[in-house]
Structure 1
């Protein structure tokens, strides 16, 4: 063994401990905050409070939903373009323990509301969220996502989510690019563009 090899073996355990070297699936069940900071925060922000509408907010998201989506990314069952470009590779490094830990970590964060739209837009969005649009066969969003858009189990929290991100997901459901939630695919085809913008603006402000 050369002197260089000997030096490497001396420092390798320390590198592994601080996360500079990764071998195999990540399982950081005991330190989800550290894993989130290393793996997720550069896009999703500290504590999941993403400031860019390119990346969804994860703060206070339901753990069951996050768990299901991360496994969907890992298994390549969720396949919109952003998933293929980024999340497939990241999720492939996570085992079930790491996924569960991240889901619980983000689920326990505080989630302040975002900015709202115009009064007219907010009123329209609130009506769709709470009551749906019967003449279109459009169900109330609250029926699945909770009275305050807080989410329920595998139905995601929508409160505070970026309007632009919500609209991209509606488009992905409508186009079939995202096909892992048949109910949302049907809803997306029912919403008009104006209605989608209104309900997304309302949700961002919750």
Structure 2
């Protein structure tokens, strides 16, 4: 509780320094781009091109997905440790118009290209799972929701070019139930074994 309060105070101070906070909330949709550049970039990188696997790449992410996640952080519907540590206090200061503006800004950025290299056999296995699923375990093809090129579709996020470590961490929090805002992914995370999860993450990171 004390850490969350301290983070909220720090967030407000950073927003004020960026000239974006008035009283307790942001109120202008046009602040989205400025907020992304002056605050969000410290973790997610300029234009959403994160270099740290702690923080997801947001460039080219679907607008609907980003809006949904920011509302989930705001409403504490995402309860994993990273969400509580980094995003609960941040999102608490955003109104609906600014959430929409932030999501629109990131959705129009050029996506980060995939990382070349990696284990060819593991990547090939991940590609097969992505396009065909694991029928014996009841896992559907990832492409059926996330798009043939993992580009994302509406509420289903872009996964292409995402950090491998971040993808694996998200599968982990879906599996342990602390990220409970996507029931289908909870089922998928439980059905995939460790090697299969690693393979899919490696393939998506390479795209």
TM-score scaled to structure 2, two decimals? Answer: 0.88
Residue 204 of structure 2 corresponds to 203
Shift of the 71–113 alpha-carbon distance from structure 1 to 2, 3 Å rule, reads same
- Give the equivalent residue in structure 2 for 1:5: none
| SS of corresponding position for 2:36 | helix
1:149 maps to: 150
Please say which structure displays the higher CA radius of gyration: 1
1:51 is aligned to: 51
Residue 76 of structure 1 contacts residue 88 of structure 1 at CA under 8 Å; is this kept in 2? yes
Question: 2:79 aligned with 1:79, yes or no?
Answer: yes
2:171 aligns with 170
Runs of 4+ in 1 over 3 A off after TM superposition: 15-18
What is the 5 A alignment of 1:95-110?
Answer: 95-110=95-110
Number of residue pairs the alignment of both structures matches: 192
RMSD of the alignment, in Å? Answer: 1.6
Q: By how many angstroms is 1:32 displaced?
A: 2.3
Aligned to 1:87, the other structure's residue is in SS state helix
Aligned to 1:37: 37
Contact 2:36–2:102 at 8 Å: present in 1 too? yes
Is the 2:20–2:35 Cα contact (8 Å) retained in structure 1? no
Say if 2:20 and 2:31, in contact at 8 Å, map to a contact too: no
Structure 2 equivalent of residue 137 of structure 1:
138
The answer for unaligned runs of 5 or more in structure 1 is 1-14
Q: Which residue of 1 aligns with 2:180?
A: 179
Question: Which residue in the other structure is 2:126 paired with?
Answer: 125
User: 2:90 corresponds to which residue?
Assistant: 90
What TM-score do you get using the length of structure 1 for normalisation? 0.89
Q: Is the 8 A contact 1:48 1:58 kept in 2?
A: yes
Equivalent residues of 1:28, 1:35 under 8 A apart = no
